[in-house]
């Protein structure tokens, strides 16, 4: 199933709501895996690092995943496929071809999209049936 967070731009609350929702979905569907998908590692700086913390982001960059209370959170970028097997893809500020690639990833049980720009979410909603996650 596809979901989208009703937020835009560098919004910590929107990112955290997306992550929280992705974790809940992964627990509910039994995969216990979430892939945090960004265009590149540099996209972890700023909003995501501020929302999580520097230590979390450093470990994610270094190891490619974090195991937290039985939930594995993987880093997924355009260049890093990771050891993510099956679960929820949290598409953070992904756009264009990369977002389409994530949506069509065979490992994705669900997609939680955190948009950057209102035009991007409008295009997404024209193409896909998606449930809104309110802040």
The pair of three-digit structure tokens given for residue 110, joined into one six-digit string: 């669900």
Q: What is the pLDDT of residue 81?
A: 82
The pair of three-digit structure tokens given for residue 88, joined into one six-digit string: 């929820």
Domain count, the chain: 1
- pLDDT top residue among 134 and 23: 23
Q: Residues 15-66: pLDDT tens digits?
A: 999 999 999 999 999 999 999 999 999 999 999 999 998 999 999 999 999 9
Q: What is the pLDDT of residue 33?
A: 98
Q: What is the pLDDT of residue 135?
A: 81
Mean per-residue pLDDT over the chain, rounded: 94
Question: What DSSP element (H or E) covers 67?
Answer: strand 65-68
What are the two backbone dihedrals, phi and then psi, of residue 95, each rounded to the nearest 5 degrees? Answer: -145, 165
The pair of three-digit structure tokens given for residue 127, joined into one six-digit string: 């193409």
- Supply the range of the domain harboring residue 98: 2-133
In whole angstroms, give the CA distance from residue 84 to residue 58: 18
Q: pLDDT category, 118, cuts 50, 70, 90?
A: confident
Q: Report, in this order, helix, strand and coil percent for the chain, each rounded to 5.
A: 40, 25, 35
Cβ-based burial of 120 (10 A; exposed 0-12, middle 13-18, buried ≥19): middle
Question: What percent of the chain has pLDDT above 90?
Answer: 87
Q: What is the pLDDT of residue 31?
A: 98
Question: In the predicted model, is pLDDT for residue 8 greater than 90?
Answer: no
In whole angstroms, give the CA distance from residue 28 to residue 94: 25
Question: Rg of the Cα trace of the chain?
Answer: 13
């Amino acid at each position: 199933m596809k979901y989208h967070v009703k937020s835009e731009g560098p919004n910590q609350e929107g990112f955290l709501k997306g992550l929280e929702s992705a974790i809940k979905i992964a627990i509910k569907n039994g995969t216990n895996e979430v892939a945090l998908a960004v265009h590149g590692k540099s996209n972890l700086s700023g909003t995501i690092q501020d929302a999580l913390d520097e230590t979390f982001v450093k470990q994610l960059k270094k190891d490619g995943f974090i195991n937290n209370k039985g939930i594995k959170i993987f880093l997924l970028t355009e260049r890093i496929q990771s050891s993510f097997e099956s679960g929820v893809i949290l598409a953070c500020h992904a756009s264009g071809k990369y977002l389409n690639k994530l949506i069509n990833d065979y490992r994705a049980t669900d997609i939680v999209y955190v948009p950057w720009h209102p035009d991007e979410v409008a295009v997404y909603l024209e193409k896909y049936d998606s449930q809104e996650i309110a802040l």
